[in-house]
Chain A
Amino acid sequence: MRRRGGIELATRHLAQGAGREAQGTGKGPRRRWKIESIRLVTQVFGLVLGNGMLIGLPLFGTSNVLRHIYFPNASTKFFINAPTYATFYKVQDTVYSAWNSMYIDLLLPLLIFVVLTILLGRAWCAWLCPLGLPQDLLTRLRRRLGIRHLEIAPHHADLIHSLKYLGVFVIVFYTFALGAPGFNLKAMWNALPVPYEQFDPNRAMYVYAQMAVGLAPTSTYVPTMSVLIALLFFGTSFAARRFWCHICPQGAMMAPLNHVALVKLRKDPGKCTHCRICYRVCPMEILKVYEERRGREVTSDKCVHCYHCVDNCPEDGCLSVEFLGKRLLGSRYRCQCDEGGSGV
């Protein structure tokens, strides 16, 4: 009985619907936008303005306030005069240089990081990260070419995911050893002070882009390692969906907080038919959403909040996104044939 209102609303809508195509869906007004499209717009916006990379640079680059905000995404200090830096950069920078001040510098950035992550979880990854958009674009290109993605079996995905924690540990331990007196690694201070700076594919990807549009001097140093990893990034992200997100150290810092984030992926197990579509469309190869039979909480530490599962779930209201208990988005059945069947 509780859903009668919804159905009646649906019938009124359908009675007004002109085309037979629109009638096909049968369960109420279609959500005009796919979450996928909203996300793409946000990503482009974030890349251009939020991360201050291309257009935003001259506007924000000189602000003294903005440049001390450290974001959970955007992995390094890779832009000359970039307004925002990544927390991971700040962590390395402080840990190797601030042994004497007991890392006090790190408190505020980490607090901001924790607060932002608790607010939005890993939503940064799918919605704002400058490495997210290139991965999604490569996926679109691959689909256009008709090439199937490389499937990562769940047990392999777990293994790959643990690599990112190892990466964070090694990097932080190394920077700690650089700064701590007992290790005598002062010699490395000039050679490799903030290691991730050397590896980060962002650097090769965007500094070259900045040079091309004249935002950075052509003499800017780009580490060879970063170029190599960027090439690896292109290759793997073309073959597998969001491969970088599986191993990203910045993601590893956010992952443990993803469970407690205020943005939650919710499931109503009573509405689930266990059709496995959510697993099939998940770029992070998360089985939990499909397998859950009792609990409502299905946010996993791997989840980057792209909501492909919510977009594609064919059961009305089975999957939803909640913020502080308020429902923001919900799954709704609609016929793929109404979308022109491209699915891209």
Chain B
Amino acid sequence: MTGSGKGGRVLRYMNAEMLESARAARGRIQEAAREQVQGHLAAMRANDRPRAMAYFDGMADPFGKRAEELGRFRASGGRVVGTLCYFAPAEIFAAFGAVPVRFCSGLYEAVHPANDLLGDAGLCPLVKSTLGLKMSGASPVLELCDLVVVPTPCDAKLKLGEILQDTVEVHLMNLPAVKGTEEGRASWMNEIKGLVRRLEGLYGVRLMPRMLRKAIATYQRAQAAWRRFSALRRKGGIWGRDALLVAQVSFHDDIARWTENVNRLCDELEGRPPVAPEAARIMLGGSPVIWPNWKVPLLIEESGGIIIADELCSGSRTMYDPVVVGEWTMEGMLVAVAERYLVPCTCPSFSPNLDREENMLRRMREFGAEGAVFHVLRGCHLNSLDATKANVVLRRERLPMLKVESEYDEGDLEQVRTRIEAFIEMIRARREQSG
């Protein structure tokens, strides 16, 4: 209780000096982000890629064009809600006319302010970076959110939601760790209803079926476009790093416009030959790979591989599962949305998590992947443990897997590169052996 922060909030965990020094780092964080984004984009543009990617490049800078757009939108009375995880149901926010923006952060520079506060160097860099982003005020969009919705899949996000309350209005959503039971499902359904009540209170609007129906239809179109894109990815006409960027632009973009551009990209992909027909077909799984933390995707694709499929919550999972409404009643729509986010999700926070192993196998077979790279962010114990299980299951099916533990900084770049290169070399050798 060391005083009041922004908007008259009580600072419980942060103190004024800490925030002061974090804010001093704002310019540095923004500068580093811009540099990183432009650097990666330049690397990605160096190779053959679809022209329609230009749109997604333009939207890639988290503090760029889209941030300005959202700023104007907010100034003219628009509603913006921040989310911190896959599980925050976009359809519900859209039903209230709010633009959901997912703030999982991939900026290395933003980790430092959070490190000073938390004093836990082993914690997940994604969570630290997001906290640092808020402390420093570097993200203009995060500053104009009415509310930040934080589901609690893991320890790090659970605590992030708690600490963030110093600086912004937070709504925590209790995510059940056991999703397969009626009890787990019912508790998640209650969380969804609680979120609706919170938003109704916040905006002074009652959620009507027709509002939700319209929002669901908008996202169903986005999901349909993504499925179309996924199927086309199989032909190898696009690099995995580009595909991941497309998925992540949906984190903050206007969803109807995003859908339109994904469909445009699909139109172009239909006639395109594979970008790298000889490359080793890799499936990328594990901890979220968040733009612009593009270390692992770039290393894989610079080392003679191509990410043909992924099972990342920051990639395919974002839009793959459709909301299928059984009954278009209010309750029926809410159940459909609630289950869409909970039941098919293969987040390692669930136990048991057979769905993940099966999903990895299914995807690898469907996309003809020759090996899997399992990315584990340092401090992400859940993914680390799932990697061990996945390795056993994939080995049984004679599919090689490489577990790559990594941080946000560039310190481990060469070490990771060596391992990935060796892995891809091994896949190539296997390919030659089997003729």
Interface residues of A (CB under 8 A from B): 1, 3, 7, 10-11, 14-15, 20-21, 23-27, 143, 146-149, 153-154, 269-277, 280-281, 293, 308, 312, 314, 333, 335-338, 341-344
Contact = CB atoms under 8 A, between A and B. Distances in A.
Looking at A20, A153, A154, A276, the one whose CB has the most chain B CB atoms below 10 A away is: A276
B354 A293 contact: yes
B355 A273 contact: yes
A148 B344 contact: no
B24 interface: no
A335 B226 CA distance: 11
Contacts of A26: 224-225, 227-232, 266
B409 interface: no
Contacts of A24: 221, 224-225, 228, 263
A23 B343 contact: no
10 contacts: A15-B270, A23-B228, A24-B225, A24-B263, A146-B209, A270-B362, A273-B321, A280-B336, A314-B324, A335-B220
Given A273-B359, A275-B339, A276-B339, 6 more contacts: A21-B221, A23-B266, A148-B329, A149-B332, A335-B224, A337-B217
Contacts of B231: 7, 10, 26-27
Contacts of A336: 217, 220, 322-325
A143 B327 contact: yes
Chain B interface residue bracket vs A: 35 or more
A276 B327 contact: no
B50 interface: no
Contacts of B182: 153-154
Nearest to A20: B263
A281 B335 CA distance: 11
B224 A337 contact: yes
B243 to A, nearest CB: 14
B330 A146 contact: yes
Contacts of B221: 21, 24, 335, 337
Interface in B336-390: 336, 339-340, 343-344, 354-355, 358-359, 361-362, 365-366, 368
Contact of A143 (B235, B266, B329, B340): B329
Interface string B218-258: 00110111011111101100000000000000000000000
A9 to B, nearest CB: 12
A5 to B, nearest CB: 13
A275 B321 contact: yes
Nearest to B339: A276
Contacts of B220: 335-337, 341
Contacts of B330: 146, 148
B35 interface: no
A11 B233 CA distance: 13
Contacts of A272: 358
Given A273-B355, A337-B221, A280 B270 contact: no
Interface in B28-66: none
B73 interface: no
A37 to B, nearest CB: 16
Interface string B190-230: 00000000000000000001000100110011011101111
Interface string B2-22: 000000000000000000000
Contacts of B266: 23, 26
A14 to B, nearest CB: 7
A281 B232 CA distance: 29
A344 B336 CA distance: 15
Contacts of B230: 26
A239 to B, nearest CB: 13
A277 B158 CA distance: 29
Contacts of A343: 325-328
B331 interface: yes
Nearest to B320: A273
A36 to B, nearest CB: 12
Contacts of A341: 213, 216-217, 220, 325, 328
Interface in B250-275: 260, 263, 266, 270
A58 to B, nearest CB: 39
Contacts of A314: 321-322, 324
Contacts of A308: 326
A148 B332 contact: yes
Contacts of B232: 7, 11, 26
B328 A143 contact: yes
Contacts of A271: 362
B299 to A, nearest CB: 28
Nearest to A7: B231
Contacts of A273: 321, 344, 355, 359, 362
Interface in B112-159: none
Contacts of A27: 227-228, 231
Task: Find the residue from A26, A153, A271 having the highest chain B CB count within 10 A.
Answer: A26
Interface in B287-317: none
B179 to A, nearest CB: 10
Given A273-B359, A293-B358, A149 B327 contact: yes
B100 to A, nearest CB: 19
A335 B216 CA distance: 11
B358 A333 contact: no
